[in-house]
A and B are shown apart, each in its own frame.
Chain A
Amino acid sequence: MDNGTHSPLAARGAARTIAHLWMILGVIIVAFPVYYVFIASTHSVQTILRPPLPLLPGAEGYENYRAAFSGEIDRIGGVSLWRLLGNTTLIAVGIAVGKIVISMASAYAIVFFKFPFRMACFWLIFITLMLPVEVRIQPTYKVMVDLGLIDTYAGLILPLIASATATLLFRQFFMTIPDELLEAARVDGAGPWRFFKDILWPLSLTNVAAIFVIQFIYGWTQYLWPLLVTNSNEMNTIVIALKKMVSFADADTPWNLVMVTSVLAILPPILVVVLMQRWFVKGLVETEK
């Protein structure tokens, strides 16, 4: 900035430039692979396989994307790109919404109700933090088989819904609600359900948004569990399909379509973050209630 040199901050001008350069460098390092994926998705297989890969978009972009959407992926993986995107969206939204519902309900019970073994319940939930999906994957798989939930959306979503992290986050937030607010609502005649609906929920919205974003991405990028619990191609998520498209021999892999699919796999989470960014940040930093 020109007038910056005349401001009291002028002395910091050089330091600021350096700081900016560092940040720009960081962004380049982080963003470059993503950019490269996008570039690759606009070239033909031949160009991709013949190094070096150009740094600028090629002319095949439109053709690649058109092919991907009009059955080319279907031919390779046995399932259409639309179906893959639909599956993944359904699972990611299902997991995010499910987690929010379950964790809000349990946090509400733990914070606002007095019942026997309340702290025991809290610690039980807390302990599950130490048991990631991978550790309990075999028993979970067995349960899903017994319930006949293999190759179903329920089977994909339900085991991933229970969330100690989200429960803890909501618990911490609920505990910042002053007691008087609850008491005022009680005097005003609000029962537990009305208090939740009219007061707690509106006050939690920014937190809900933040948790939705985090859990949507968590659900979108799931790999191990969908791999286990789905057999038919019809139930694949985009991440699984992507893996299946890559064969051992470089020459057999339609890299241009893999790159197109990668771009499409990255896009929705970015979209969710961008659209909910304002709320997301508010939910993470807001302390004053």
Chain B
Amino acid sequence: MAHIQLNDLRKSYAGQEVIHGITMDISNGEFVVIVGPSGCGKSTLLRMVAGLEGISAGTISIGDRVVNDLEPRERDIAMVFQNYALYPHMSVRENMAYGLKIAKMPVAEIDARVAKAATMLELEPYLDRKPRALSGGQRQRVAMGRALVREPAAFLLDEPLSNLDAKLRVQMRLQIKELHQRTGQTTLYVTHDQVEAMTLADRLIVMNKGVAEQIATPHEVYTNPASEFVAGFIGSPAMNIFTVRAEAGVAVLPGGQRLPLPGLPASGEVRLGLRPEDMVLVEAGTPAIPVVLKSVEWLGADAFGYGVIEGSEVLMTLRLPGNTVAKRGDRLHVAAAEGRIHLFSPATGKRL
């Protein structure tokens, strides 16, 4: 167990920088999820920590050791790969024991650790099977077991659940959460799935194009997204974001309507973000956004209304109560709940 420090970490391929300086302190036992769309550099970042990718600039320390120039095996880490990368010719037991065997650990100790991990992951009946005789979920657990037995300073997981079906993914997510609570291992977890990110993380790194857009707790990321990218990426359905013109404390909507909003700059354009679930229906006559519904999807407990702001082409998604009677063509007046308004700079995308 150890804390990890990333200090202005950069990575370039052939002069092209793909990771643009990431700085972060991960404390001992913390579960940090790196999340972002594909190609944002999240896997590269994890692989740099693992030592599978070189570091172009900056430093990584695990514990109090700078590990920049250390081989993966010297970094005291364990990794779980997306496709599990189990050794196909070795039994489950041998797969888990392999790293320990190389480390020349006494056989009795290896057996004890493998047995312990197998119990924890409910793998005892399969210890003598080859990976090809296991289901996807079991293989995933073997990959976890192989990492667990090492008792490393840090766990690195690279999209460990993305090869599983939806139901198994939920199960394994809970199991990973429980394992972390039980072992208290410092963990870095890469995913593109925001549900995994939100449910597992103590803190999130939301990445976009090689930049850490925000490093914060899931709650903070959701309620106070640091940039328009984060606001649009986290939350489902995605936040409604559109440009309004500020005029003396009043926002001029795309349809020409005027809506008083707190926190607006004196003038100029600004990006306004409103989450579908933060919108409330109000009486006609009060200041509101008029939305003309194009379609309504009823999901049981909730319904989602998709429409446009009246007089414009700007799309709006609204979360409506399950008992709504709204239908296509209806005109709804909605306003943002108190304190749930997000304003971003159109130039930098940063939160205002």
Contacts and interface: CB of A to CB of B under 8 A. Distances in A.
Interface of A: 178, 180-181, 183-190, 194, 198-199, 202-203, 289
A187 B87 contact: no
Contact of B73 (A189, A202, A289): A189
Interface stretch (B95-103, B210-218, B242-250, B251-259): B95-103
Interface in B71-89: 71-73, 77-79, 81-89
Contacts of A183: 50, 52, 72, 79, 81, 85
B193 to A, nearest CB: 20
Contacts of B82: 180
A194 B71 CA distance: 15
B302 to A, nearest CB: 40
9 contacts: A180-B81, A183-B79, A183-B85, A185-B87, A187-B52, A187-B79, A188-B73, A190-B102, A202-B89
A196 to B, nearest CB: 13
B98 A188 contact: yes
B28 to A, nearest CB: 21
Binding site secondary structure of chain A? helix
Nearest to A203: B89
The list of the 6 closest CB pairs from A to B, nearest first, reads: A189-B73, A188-B99, A180-B85, A184-B85, A189-B102, A202-B89
A199 B88 CA distance: 9
Contacts of B83: 178, 180
Interface residues of B, number: 23
Contacts of A190: 73, 98, 102
Given A184-B81, A202-B89, 17 more contacts: A178-B83, A178-B85, A181-B85, A181-B87, A183-B52, A183-B81, A184-B85, A184-B146, A186-B52, A186-B71, A187-B73, A187-B78, A187-B99, A188-B73, A189-B72, A194-B102, A199-B87
A190 B146 CA distance: 14
A189 B104 CA distance: 11
Nearest to A189: B73
B73 A186 contact: yes
A189 B103 contact: yes
A252 to B, nearest CB: 58
A184 B102 contact: no
Contacts of B98: 188, 190, 198
A88 to B, nearest CB: 34
Contacts of A199: 87, 89
Most buried by B among A180, A187, A202: A187
B48 to A, nearest CB: 13
Nearest to B104: A189
Most buried by B among A185, A194, A203: A185
Interface string B165-198: 0000000000000000000000000000000000
B24 to A, nearest CB: 22
A187 B102 contact: no
